[in-house]
Structure 1
C-alpha cells in the first residue's frame, strides 16, 4: 500500500482515494458519551505523519471493535478512506482543520518494516528539575525516566469506579 501515499496536510474534503502513512501517538480507552437518552461508545486516537502534522481520530459504536487491538501506540500504519469532518471553529484548529472518523470503509494496514522515513518524536520531554514549576497545578508534562522500583498493586478509585493501580519510583539520572 506504500505507493501513492500523501501527507496528512494534503487530505481534505476534495481528496479521493487517499492513503497516508501515520504513526499512532495516543490511544484513549473506550468511553461512553451520553446525550439525553442516547449513549454512544467511542474511542479517540491521535495520529501523526513524518512532517509532524497531527490528526485526531475517533471511532464510534460498533466500529470500535474494528480497531480493538489493531492500532497500537508508536506503530506505523497506512490508513485510507476515513471519513473527514471539519473541526468546529469554536474548538480551534492547529495546522490541520479536520478530524477523521474510522468506519467500516476505512482501510488500515500495518506498515512494519516498510523502509519509509522515520516519523518524528512527538513528545516534549521535561527534566525532573522542571517539577517545581508545575507542582500544585493541573498542568501535565511528559518526563522520561527509568523505573527502579514498582510498589505493590492496589485498588484506586478514578472517575467514580474502582480500578487497578500501582505506583512506581523513577529516576532520570543515576
Structure 2
C-alpha cells in the first residue's frame, strides 16, 4: 500500500510513499566543483508549505526537462532520500531528495478530476540586512534576501585568483547597503540580465535572492554559492 505523506514525514527508511509538491524554484544546471558531474537543484514545497531541496544529475536533467516546470504541481514517489553533507551549508531541510530514473513523477493538471494543483507559494524566509552581522558565527549560513539594486558593476577578475565576478550594490527598505558578489556564471548570466535592466528602468529594480552566502570578502558582504 502506498502511503500518502507530506515532506516532513519522509525519511531515508520510509518505503512506498507518495507526496504532493509544487516546484517553487528551479536552478540552472551547473558543474560540480570537481568538474566530474552536472547537477541541477530544485526547491519543492508541499501542502503544508514545508520545503525540501531535490537534485537531478546529468541524464535526468535532460529526461525531466520537458516535465518539470516552475509552479507546477506533481505527485512524486520513490525519490531517494539522503542526509545532506556538511559542505551543503545550512540546508532548508534535514534531508534532500535525488530524482533519478527510478523516481515516479506525475504532473497534476488543472483538468485533473481528483487532484488539484497547489496554489501559488506564499512562503518567503527573508533575512533583513540588519540581521546579517549576527549570522557570521555560522559561515555556512544561506539566506534569502529582497533588495533594491543601486549599482551593477562590470564582469571582472577578482584579484590574483582570476575568478570572474560581478559586484552589485544592494539596499534594503531601511537604506542599509551591502555588496553582493556574483561569482563566475552567476555574474555572466544573472549579472548580465540585471545590468541590462538597470539603464532603461525608470523605476527601482528589486531582486529576490535565494540561498545567498555571507562572506568576509571586502568586509562583510553577500555572495553567490
Choose which of 178, 183, 207 in structure 2 pairs with 1:136: 178
Unaligned runs of 5+ in 1: 140-156
Partner SS for 2:32: strand
Q: Number of residue pairs matched?
A: 150
The answer to whether 1:17 aligns with 2:16 is yes
2:124 aligns with 123
8 Å contact kept, 1:51–1:120: no
Q: Which whole-Å CA distance do the structure 2 matches of 1:123 and 1:61 have between them?
A: 29
8 Å contact kept, 2:83–2:96: yes
Unaligned runs of 5+ in 2: 127-145, 149-170, 206-225
TM-score (norm 1): 0.69
Partner SS for 1:65: helix
8 Å contact kept, 2:21–2:118: no
Q: Which whole-Å CA distance do the structure 1 matches of 2:30 and 2:86 have between them?
A: 24
Q: CA deviation at 1:105?
A: 0.4
Q: Which whole-Å CA distance do the structure 2 matches of 1:7 and 1:82 have between them?
A: 13
Deviating runs (4+, > 6 A) in structure 1?
Answer: none
Partner SS for 2:63: helix
The answer to whether 1:74 aligns with 2:71 is yes
Choose which of 108, 111, 135 in structure 1 pairs with 2:108: 111
Q: CA deviation at 1:39?
A: 1.6
1:29 aligns with 28
- Kindly indicate whether structure 1 or structure 2 has the higher relative contact order, using CA contacts under 8 Å at least 6 residues apart: 1
Q: Which whole-Å CA distance do the structure 1 matches of 2:26 and 2:118 have between them?
A: 22
TM-score (norm 2): 0.55
The worse-fitting range, judged by mean Cα deviation, of 125-134 and 61-70 is 125-134
8 Å contact kept, 1:22–1:78: yes
